[in-house]
């Protein structure tokens, strides 16, 4: 796997996962979609999707660096993804959600084919 992919895949997956978890909360949901109130099943789906993406981000970390270093780097990617989301969610909330969708659309096929 390319070195850039090893760095970008977990970061984008962590960002998308954190976005899914944040959009499951009504406060952040109102930031992104002010006129829409998601029903509880959709919020639960966003939580499940976010959790799954965060777990999926662990896979390239362990594959590239092994379990001991990979888990530690995954924790760092979690922090970096959450930090990027906080900054983008406070500046351009709709762009934060759009970027998460693009991140999922780009990273999941690359991860599954590599």
- Number of domains making up the chain: 1
* C-alpha to C-alpha distance for 41 and 105, rounded to whole angstroms: 23
The pLDDT tens digits of the residues spanning 16-45 come to 999 999 999 999 999 999 888 889 999 999
Radius of gyration of the chain (CA): 14
What is the pLDDT, as a whole number, of residue 1?
67
Range of the domain at 25: 3-113
Q: What is the mean pLDDT of residues 53-57?
A: 95
- The H-assigned helical ranges of the chain are 3-23, 26-32, 40-91, 93-113
CB atoms within 10 A of CB 47: 15
Instruction: From residue 24, give the alpha-carbon distance in Å to each of 4, 38, 64, 66, 68.
Output: 30, 8, 31, 32, 31
């Amino acid at each position: 796997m390319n070195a850039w992919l090893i760095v970008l895949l977990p970061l984008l997956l962590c960002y998308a996962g954190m976005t899914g978890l944040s959009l499951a909360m009504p406060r952040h949901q109102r930031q992104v979609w002010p006129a829409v109130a998601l029903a509880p099943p959709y919020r639960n789906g966003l939580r499940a999707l976010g959790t799954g993406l965060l777990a999926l981000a662990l896979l390239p970390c362990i594959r590239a660096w092994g379990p001991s270093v990979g888990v530690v780097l995954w924790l760092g990617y979690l922090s970096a993804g959450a930090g990027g989301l906080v900054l983008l969610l406070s500046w351009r909330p709709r762009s934060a959600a759009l970027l998460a969708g693009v991140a999922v659309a780009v990273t999941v096929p690359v991860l599954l084919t590599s």
